[in-house]
Structure 1
């Protein structure tokens, strides 16, 4: 199975939607950060949202960052996505163990706690756009729904889910973003409300749908949108999405040079090799004393 995103219009073009299958992304994040199930679920949800929001970008160079800060034991998360839906992320405390919530699910809300959701859009302007809202449930999907309604004034429904296996690997992950166009009718709004009311959850749908291996990922995502929006659903684009860090030795070298000549000289005088660590992919870049001297040449 391959991770992907579909985008399209529905209900007489009064609604736009995005739907994502992100199991590989969530599992790769789990492997990189060695997260506990609660933190896997939290990071997987935010990565899924980031991938879909990245796919909304109008310019090839656009970057979107979702940052959550909370007073719970997980402390917070950061996810970054580009316009090609390449995502990467971190959870500040990767090991959190809490009892299930009242519904018997992984208690992501208490793991994050009360806090703030930041949405940072770097779209090539002098300064990036920064929107922020208080967390309303800390379950991530509802917080993003609130963000779209208050900061972007777009009536939106966000659904996100990560289902774990008994061995704590990721079984299924995905989500959707449904948005009303400004001219949406009351009839359309009622259809969406009824559709959402009858929709159990992203993980429940994906888990059931993937028992039928005759359908591709995008076909299953289309079925998920039809289960909410009805038959008037038209997919306009499909794109791959993956967990992908853009760090490299060249980029790290440039960052090292940017600290300044004096600081590099201090590193050399200390007589110890320098290790530059990327938090997003857990890659280490080591620089020997000789390599540091070359940076000053």
Structure 2
């Protein structure tokens, strides 16, 4: 299958009374799989979370960014994702090496991996003094339903969220993507019923992407009169750097840094988000400590 670039489209329908987002995140999710060596069910759980983050990031403006933490009671542990308004996304899962049998539908058991109890926290940095925080209990662990619930409860916007990741037998990601349909004020009952019917009969996100459909085709299957407003490239991006790691080391305090210099030939710091390893030898740590003191 030819590789298509990850991209997100934004659109509206029913004269602006519906706001819609659809995205392909195949390359992003496969990049995270490679970096974190995730097993299929962990790939699916992480992939669905970062796909939701990519679309929620596209709802932001300028320098705004958001962080999502899925804290379920399942074996994958915590899932973290971050995204911004420019389409840059990163994420990781606490326990990447989780293997579970398929669920009753013969699919990857994402709910079993995530857990059906716990919370999903969304923190948005909107450039204000305090970030916006929303938190909801996990309702299914499948994540699409959970984010649907998040929009209804935390953002008071009825929405439908579809998320999907299809993993190949060799563990690579065949397709990944999703959609968010937000129902705005002014819709009639019959219009809402029509949208609900379209959602109920829509094939899975992965089936649509696997057929070669583009994100805008996915939206038109749900909303025949959808008008595309703009699009955004989606890509993995990590903001870690050697300088930031140095700041983290300084924040450990003088005593801890002196202990590292004394006990270890070299110190390794690994970024959770991208698995990049930063190595500092004793001399480098001493220089960092001396600069922090001065």
TM-score (normalised: structure 2) = 0.93
Deviation by residue 1:40-66 (Cα, 9 ceiling, x = unmatched): 1111111111011111112x2212111
Residues in 2 aligned to 1:17 and 1:136: alpha-carbon distance in whole angstroms: 23
Residues in 1 aligned to 2:239 and 2:164: alpha-carbon distance in whole angstroms: 26
Question: 48, 51, 56: which one pairs with 1:48?
Answer: 51
Q: Which moved more, 1:267-276 or 1:159-168?
A: 267-276
Return the offset for 1:125. Answer: 2.0
Residues in 2 aligned to 1:108 and 1:123: alpha-carbon distance in whole angstroms: 31
Indicate whether 1:292 and 2:294 are aligned.
Answer: no
Write the mapping of 1:6-21 to structure 2, written as runs, cut at 5 A: 6-21=9-24
Q: Number of residue pairs matched?
A: 286
Give the corresponding residue for 1:205: 208
Give the corresponding residue for 2:269: 276
Give the corresponding residue for 1:260: 253
Return the offset for 1:271. Answer: 4.8
Give the corresponding residue for 1:70: 72
Return the offset for 1:8. Answer: 1.3
Give the corresponding residue for 1:239: 232
Indicate whether 1:188 and 2:182 are aligned.
Answer: no
Write the mapping of 1:148-187 to structure 2, written as runs, cut at 5 A: 148-187=151-190
Residues in 2 aligned to 1:34 and 1:171: alpha-carbon distance in whole angstroms: 16
Residues in 2 aligned to 1:259 and 1:74: alpha-carbon distance in whole angstroms: 28
Residues in 1 aligned to 2:85 and 2:287: alpha-carbon distance in whole angstroms: 36
Give the corresponding residue for 2:140: 137
Deviation by residue 1:9-60 (Cα, 9 ceiling, x = unmatched): 11111100010001001111111111111011111111111011111112x2
Residues in 2 aligned to 1:269 and 1:95: alpha-carbon distance in whole angstroms: 34
Q: Which runs of 5+ in 2 are unaligned?
A: none
Question: 217, 221, 224: which one pairs with 1:223?
Answer: 217
- 1:14–1:188 CA contact under 8 A, matched in 2: no
Residues in 2 aligned to 1:82 and 1:221: alpha-carbon distance in whole angstroms: 19
Residues in 2 aligned to 1:286 and 1:83: alpha-carbon distance in whole angstroms: 32
- 1:122–1:129 CA contact under 8 A, matched in 2: yes
- 1:191–1:229 CA contact under 8 A, matched in 2: no
Residues in 2 aligned to 1:68 and 1:139: alpha-carbon distance in whole angstroms: 11
Change in 2 beyond 3 A, CA 1:227/1:257: same
Residues in 2 aligned to 1:268 and 1:41: alpha-carbon distance in whole angstroms: 40
Q: Which runs of 5+ in 1 are unaligned?
A: 211-219
Change in 2 beyond 3 A, CA 1:293/1:140: same
CA RMSD of aligned residues (A): 1.3
